[in-house]
Structure formats: structure tokens, C-alpha cells
Amino acid sequence: IGWVDPKDVAYDQPGLLREDYYPGDIGFDPLGLKPEDPEELDVMITKELQNGRLAMLAAAGFLAQEAVDGKGIIEHFTS
């Protein structure tokens, strides 16, 4: 998506990115939610990254709780 085809890249430049590639913008927007303004896109991408980081912290919390008391997530809801 963002990388230049390896056969078109010099040997000393592996992983070269395309000139028109913008990180986080892979061109998939079937619902038309992507903002036209680049600043709004930056804000949206930042919010999405923060949501992902919060979800990873929550998952780590579930794992830590299970490691401490030996009960799974569902067992905590049923007890």
C-alpha cells in the first residue's frame, strides 16, 4: 500500500515509501468518513491511535487481573 514495489527499488533502499503515501491513509473509505481537510485527518488519526492505546491498556488490565486471582474475565462477571 505505502511501499514501492521491491523490484523497483535500489538494493540499498529497502522499505522505500511512495511519494504520495500518507501514514494512516490507505485509501479504504467506503462510507466516506475521511475528512477532506488534512488537519482534520490528523486529528482523526490521532484519536484512533489513542483509542487503540487505551484498548491495549484495558486488555493488559484483564490479563493482569487473571494472573493475580486466577479467574477468567467471564468468571468475574458470573461471581
Q: Which pLDDT belongs to residue 40?
A: 93
Alpha-carbon dihedral of residues 31, 37, 43, 45, nearest 10 degrees? 50
Give tens-digit pLDDT for 30-70.
998 888 898 998 899 899 999 999 999 999 999 999 999 98
Which amino acid is residue 79, in one-letter code? S
Q: Which three cell numbers stand for residue 26?
A: 490507505
Q: Between residues 22 and 24, which one has the greater pLDDT? A: 22
